[in-house]
């Protein structure tokens, strides 16, 4: 999303993920084009009309922050942007064959990550357990925190059995053990689980404060995971935080394959929230055409390096 104000262009990222974002509709491009036309004509008060387009809300928030920034792309000034104070992050291990996942685990350990997150549910569960056992043989829970993400892969019948087996390995938490939308079953799992459950996809498509409150009260999870691109930006995320903290529910934030435009905004925002937990932030290493930025990953942390610089490849 690019808009112009007072003869200067600004850029925001609308992180639409096909098949996952609730605003993945045919009307998306027309809605985005219409918004850009409104912005270029001086009408910047459009948030109330975009509730059902979470990724566009996110992009608009970035634009507004950029317009008011003293320094380009310094959206939430802090020690993160000014003094290179880093944010601890988890090292993500992608699903795949056992040998591929093992290679990634070794790589993350060599990079000094203290928190590793494994995507599970793609291969045989016993093989996945053996990967987790490999980490635990080498490192205690005090040395390496392990998070797992099932992405809703467990069936209702097998979920508790698998949670019990995972709990034997000092797992920090599991994200979305069963498919989202099964509130009663998820609530029962969260009540009886031997290891903390974090809701992820469950938050997508829940727009109003009343809906959020009702869902959290019914399921009562141990954690929620905030992906601003998918849940309506920072204002919506802060609403989730306010409700969760009032109920004693923990949280952390995660990027969702954004470019460095979106990742920069999420990183700066989450630092300002002063959450000490490792966050789910990466530097877009999957991309071959990402924007160059000061964001770097070193020793299991993400930082805003004073040696780095922005290069938008002619977009602005």
Out of 64, 117, 119, 162, pick the active-site residue.
119
Would residue 46 show up in a list of annotated catalytic residues for this protein?
no
Q: Per the structure block, which two tokens stand in for 48?
A: 């109330």
What single-letter DSSP state applies at residue 154?
Answer: S
Q: Are 83 and 40 in contact (CB under 8 A)?
A: no
Q: Are strands 2-5 and 250-253 parallel, antiparallel or unpaired?
A: unpaired
Region of residue 45 (left: phi > 0; alpha: psi -120 to 50; beta: else): beta
Q: 216-230 burial by CB neighbour count: b if 16+ within 10 A, else e?
A: beebebbbbbbbbbb
Nearest-angstrom CA–CA distance, 92 and 112: 13
What single-letter DSSP state applies at residue 118?
Answer: E
In this structure, is the dihedral angle defined by the CA atoms of residues 184, 189, 190 and 192, taken in order, positive or negative?
positive
Nearest-angstrom CA–CA distance, 236 and 224: 13
Would residue 119 show up in a list of annotated catalytic residues for this protein?
yes
Q: Per the structure block, which two tokens stand in for 213?
A: 């409150």
Q: Per the structure block, which two tokens stand in for 10?
A: 């600004």
Nearest-angstrom CA–CA distance, 251 and 129: 25
Give the DSSP per-residue string, 165-222: HHHTTT--EEE--B-TT-HHHHHHHHHH-SS-EEESGGGTT--SHHHHHHHHHHH--S
Q: Are 9 and 2 in contact (CB under 8 A)?
A: yes
Question: Which position has the token pair 């549910």?
Answer: 121
Q: What are phi and psi of 290, to 5 degrees?
A: -75, 160
Point out the residues that are catalytic: 119, 227
């Amino acid at each position: 999303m690019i808009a112009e104000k007072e003869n200067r262009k600004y850029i925001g990222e609308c992180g639409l993920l096909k098949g996952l974002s609730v605003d993945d509709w045919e009307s998306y491009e027309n809605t985005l084009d219409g918004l850009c036309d409104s912005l270029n004509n001086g009408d910047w008060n459009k948030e109330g009309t975009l509730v059902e387009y979470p990724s566009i809300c996110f992009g608009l928030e970035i634009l507004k922050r950029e317009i008011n920034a003293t320094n380009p792309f310094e959206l939430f000034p802090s020690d993160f942007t000014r003094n290179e104070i880093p944010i601890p992050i988890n090292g993500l291990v992608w699903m795949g064959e056992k040998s591929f996942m093992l290679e990634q685990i070794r790589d993350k350990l060599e990079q000094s990550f203290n928190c590793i997150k494994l995507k599970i549910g793609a291969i045989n569960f016993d093989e996945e357990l053996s990967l987790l056992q490999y980490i635990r043989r080498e490192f205690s829970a005090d040395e390496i925190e392990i998070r797992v993400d099932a992405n809703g892969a467990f069936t209702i019948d097998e979920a508790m059995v698998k949670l019990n087996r995972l709990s034997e390995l000092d797992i920090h938490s599991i994200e979305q053990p069963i498919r989202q939308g099964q509130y009663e079953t998820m609530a029962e799992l969260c009540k009886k689980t031997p290891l903390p459950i974090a809701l992820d996809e469950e938050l997508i498509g829940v727009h109003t404060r009343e809906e959020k409150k009702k869902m959290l009260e019914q399921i009562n999870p141990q954690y929620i995971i905030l992906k601003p691109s998918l849940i309506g930006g920072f204002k919506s995320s802060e609403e989730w935080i306010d409700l969760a903290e009032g109920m004693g529910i923990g949280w952390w934030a995660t990027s969702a394959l954004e470019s460095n435009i979106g990742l920069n905004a999420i990183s700066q925002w989450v630092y300002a929230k002063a959450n000490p937990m490792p966050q789910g932030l990466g530097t877009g290493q999957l991309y071959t055409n990402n924007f160059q930025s000061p964001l770097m990953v070193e020793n299991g942390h993400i930082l805003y390096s004073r040696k780095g610089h922005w290069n938008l490849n002619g977009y602005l």
